[in-house]
Structure 1
Amino acid sequence: MSISLYQVSVPVFIKFLGNLFQILDKASAFAAEKKIEQSVLLETRLYPNMFTFGRQLQRVADHATSYSARLAGLPPPVFDLPLTTIADYQALIKASIDFLTGLQANQIDGQEQREISIPRGTEVRVVQGQTHLLNNILPNFYFHLTTAYAVLRHIGVDVGKQDFLGRA
């Protein structure tokens, strides 16, 4: 039995974005309990030259939605949302999940060789759908997701492996 491009992307993105949404509930409760401004939490990073926690969250959502949209032949969605509180980032994650939920398998499956154009400054990079997913999108998605999780662990938020992986 083979596995489809849709199966290894969209449902995976939805699952882990949902887990991240739940983790952010714990981050919000932690900030309230410790009397830490959410902006301080969102600006936390593991090292000075790394993205902030908030930027890590943005990258997770962007990798999932932009790739999926381009593979489906759609323009990447633009979510014009304020990003100053944890609830704002949860709204971004929810909007991302809603967008992904609206995609159908027939929009993604069979697009393994599809050429995807990605603007990079003044240049455009052209990649193939499956190769880009496996060699760039999934690794980046998990990198930023793991880093966001690590920032929270680093500052003392009580999250564990099961929060990251989710149930079932």
Structure 2
Amino acid sequence: MTLSMYDISVPVFTRMLGNLAGIVDKAAAHARASDLQEARLLDARLHVTMFPLATQVQIAADGARGTVLRLAGRQPPTPDAPDFAVFNRGDPRGFAPVADSFAELAARVQRAVAEVDGYSREQLDGSEERPITLTMHGRTRCFTGLPFLLHYSLPNFYFHITTAYAILRHVGVPLGKNDYHGTGLFTEA
């Protein structure tokens, strides 16, 4: 069996973003049940030097969108479009404004799922050698498609989803491993 660029991007991003949407929904329910202020939970972080929950979720959603857009050979609407940022530019100003509510954050994740899922196999397959150039802080990083996806985008994507999950576990949201990786991955023997 051969894996294609489509197989290792679109289904991975859409599945994990779907799981992230479920995690965000559980966080919203926990906030309501615990009388926690949404803003306080959205701003929760593991360490003062790390981005807060809302930013972690947005980076995962926007990074997935930006990755498939570039693998398909397209460019963001503007060179520095913050909602097509591909993961950490190292500067919070490099990202779109942070969501003010769980509803807004969940909508952003759902829009990302719909957009990523809108790419076809034909648009992404064959992008292994496609040149991809990112400019961050005046530095230009040049990739080809396969290393961009496998060694840059996917590790960053999983990092931000894992960090969002860890923040929520840390503040007491009742999450388990199935919330992170989802169900239906295997059958019982």
Normalised by the length of structure 2, the TM-score is: 0.84
Partner of 2:68: 68
Distance 1:58 1:104 in 2: 23
Helix, strand or coil at the partner of 1:76: coil
Segments ≥4 residues shifted beyond 6 Å: none
Q: Which residue number corresponds to residue 35 of structure 1?
A: 35
Q: Is 1:120 aligned to 2:127, yes or no?
A: no
Equivalent position of 2:147 in the other structure:
131
- 1:21 corresponds to 2:21: yes
Point out where structure 1 has 5 or more consecutive residues left out of the alignment: none
Alignment of 1:83-98 (within 5 A): 83-98=99-114
**The residue matched to 1:36 in structure 2 has which SS?**
coil
Alpha carbon RMSD of aligned pairs, Å? 1.5
Aligned match of 2:93: none
The answer (yes or no) to whether the contact 2:45–2:52 under 8 Å persists in 1 is: yes
Q: Tell me, in whole angstroms, the C-alpha distance in 2 between the residues paired with 1:144 and 1:92.
A: 15
Shift of 1:81: 8.0
Alpha-carbon distance between aligned partners in 2 of 1:122 and 1:28, rounded to the nearest angstrom = 38
Q: Percent identity?
A: 41
Residue 121 to residue 82, structure 1, CA distance change in 2 (3 Å):
closer
Name whichever structure is richer in helix by fraction.
1
Aligned partner letter, 2:44: T
Q: Give the aligned residue type for 1:137.
A: S
Q: CA deviation at 1:126?
A: 1.4
**SS at 1:158's partner residue?**
coil
Secondary structure of 1:47's counterpart equals coil
Among 101, 106, 115, the residue aligned to 1:99: 115
Distance in structure 2 (CA, Å) of the matches to 1:89 and 1:81: 11
**Aligned twin of 2:87:** none
Are positions 1:156 and 2:172 aligned together? Answer: yes
Give the TM-score, by structure 1 length: 0.95
Q: Deviations over 1:115-166 (max 9, x none)?
A: 0111212233211110111111111000000000000000110110001111
Q: Which runs of 5+ in 2 are unaligned?
A: 84-95, 185-189
**1:26-75 per-position Cα deviation (integer Å, ceiling 9, x unaligned):** 10011011111111001000011111011100111122110110110122
Which region of structure 1 is more displaced relative to structure 2, 78-87 or 100-109?
78-87
Alignment of 1:3-22 (within 5 A): 3-22=3-22
- Give the Cα separation in 2 of the matches to 1:115 and 1:65: 17
1:56 aligns with 2:56: yes
Give the structure 2 partner of residue 46 of structure 1: 46
Match of 2:183 in 1: 167
Question: Which stretch shows the higher mean deviation, 123-132 or 70-79?
Answer: 70-79
